[in-house]
Amino acid sequence: MGLVHGGDARAFEVIFDRHADVAFSLAYRMCGRRAMAEDIVQEAFLSLWRSDARYDHRRGSVRSWVLGVVHNRAIDAFRSESVRTGRNVSDEAALARLTAPESTEAEVQRRDDAGRVRGALRALPVEQRQVIELAYFGGFTHREIADMLGLPAGTVKGRMRLGLTKLRVGVDESSAQAATIGGGRR
Amino acid sequence: MSGERTDDRRHCAGDVAAYALGALDAAEAQAFARHLESCPDCRRELDAFAPVVDELARTAPRMPAPPSLRSRVLQAAADEPAPGRDAADHAHAPRGLRRPTWSGTRRPLLALGSAVAIIVAAIVVVAIAVSSGPSTRVIRAQVTGPGTASLRITDGHGELILHRFAAPPPGKIYEVWLQRPNGPPAPTSALFGVTAQGRGSVDVPGSLHGVRRVMVTPEPAGGSRVPTHAPVIVATLH
């Protein structure tokens, strides 16, 4: 990242190549339209290119930073343009477009991690998973979700909190189990 | 639902998860961000949630970013000097494109072979006219790898300009070809490489009158009579 701060185009290319797929995946999952997802990812990376003063490496990885920007920009787009159609494309539809599997060890590790998070998400009570997915992937505010589900706003926020807490515990437990199994095999 | 209860710890704590998920509206988020500065409990909870929310992004089904997006982003970055970049690098370079320092070599025209059309037919050619002037127009060429290439045409004569383009493979050099309608690519005397920064430019020999495509292939160092590789650059003239 220091190189990008210095305007090193090659470093920027490396960062793009490393994180573009996951950024595009998130953007497409959120808005369900390729053109819009591309615009969001482009703006996210360009903001990184311009971010001399705003990116702080002590606060997280570049990947987290990029994903955070993608998420925020998608939400901004939703809320500023009333772009509601095509959001929340189904996982099945998106999975149908998956291409060849990744091959590097890092990607395999990432997919393992992603699988653990998916598993923990699926293990949540449906009402907690629902509000988390509507908020995170749908970009809806807690009030919009409350209106949609006919619930008090406080209940929606409470479900979000409980859901995230359980998700954290679930991911931690799953990771610990994987480490134990991995250690046992070695 | 088991485990569901109203948050009774603090009023503010109920907003942490919503804030982490981006589910507060703009005014609420601003107010909560201010609150965070003075509330260590909320900061702790947010720190605990942040990695979980970060992991949520990974649950999105994998979608490869389109190659065209890569080209677009890198070009846009090149067109836009980043903070901290050397101002001199762009002082005389419209759209971030600094004139290269490369100088090419020349060789005599060579004859054609018959395998050319097969190779070229496999290439999808899309060229976009990106600007025009009274006597100059610039065509952005289709490239097969990283970097960009443009064909600048002035009074019927062309100049290829490469930016952040990969060097030819070891022992190879780039060769320029011209293709007229219904004809195979014709070799030119233009052989060239790129700088370590991926910059390069080369004059396209002769007139472009009647030329349909300008193409570039990597070839043995002395050039080739027929293309031995698929084109890495294709600029289509309309």
Q: Write the DSSP assignment of B131-181 as a string of letters.
A: EE-SSEEEEEPEESSSSEEEEEEETTEEEEEEESPPPPPTTEEEEEEEE-T
Backbone angles phi and psi of A128, in degrees to 5: -80, -40
A73 → chain B, closest CA residue: B22
Contact at CB, B86 and A7, closer than 8 angstroms:
yes
- On whether the CB atoms of residues A162 and A129 are closer than 8 A, the answer is no
Return the ∠ at Cα A172 (arms to A166 and A176), rounded to 5°: 145
**Greater model confidence, A42 or A104:** A42
B228 phi-psi bin (left φ>0, alpha ψ -120 to 50, beta other): alpha
What tokens does B176 get? 């320029």
Could you tell me whether strands B157-163 and B200-204 are parallel, antiparallel, or unpaired per DSSP bridges?
antiparallel
Q: Is the pLDDT of residue A97 over 50?
A: no
Q: What is the DSSP track for B57-100? A: GGGSPP-PPPHHHHHHHHHHHHHSPPTTS-GGGGTT-GGG-PPP
Least confident residue range of A102-106, A159-163, B232-236: A102-106
**Greater model confidence, B84 or A168:** A168
What tokens does A5 get? 């701060």
Instruction: Render the burial of B176-187: b for 16+ CB within 10 Å, e for the rest.
Output: bbbbeeeebbbb
Using one digit for the tens of pLDDT, what is the confidence trace for B171-192? Answer: 788 889 999 888 888 888 888 8
Region B63-83 average pLDDT: 84
ipTM over 0.90: no
Instruction: Residue B56: list chain A partners with CB under 8 A.
Output: 117, 121, 132, 136-137
Confidence of residue A173 (pLDDT cuts 50, 70, 90): confident
- Rounded Cα gap, residues A106 and A112, in angstroms: 10
Question: From the list B3, B63, B74, which residue is nearest A25 (CB)?
Answer: B63
Going by C-alpha positions, the residue among A56, A150, A42 that lies closest to residue B68 is A42
Using one digit for the tens of pLDDT, what is the confidence trace for A146-162? Answer: 988 889 999 999 999 99
Instruction: Residue B18: list chain A partners with CB under 8 A.
Output: 135, 142, 156-157, 160
Using the Cβ of B1 and the Cβ atoms of chain A, whether some distance falls under 8 Å is answered with yes
Confidence of residue B16 (pLDDT cuts 50, 70, 90): very high
Return the ∠ at Cα A69 (arms to A67 and A75), rounded to 5°: 105
Q: Indicate whether this model's pTM tops 0.80.
A: no
pLDDT of residue A107: 47
- On whether the CB atoms of residues B221 and B173 are closer than 8 A, the answer is yes
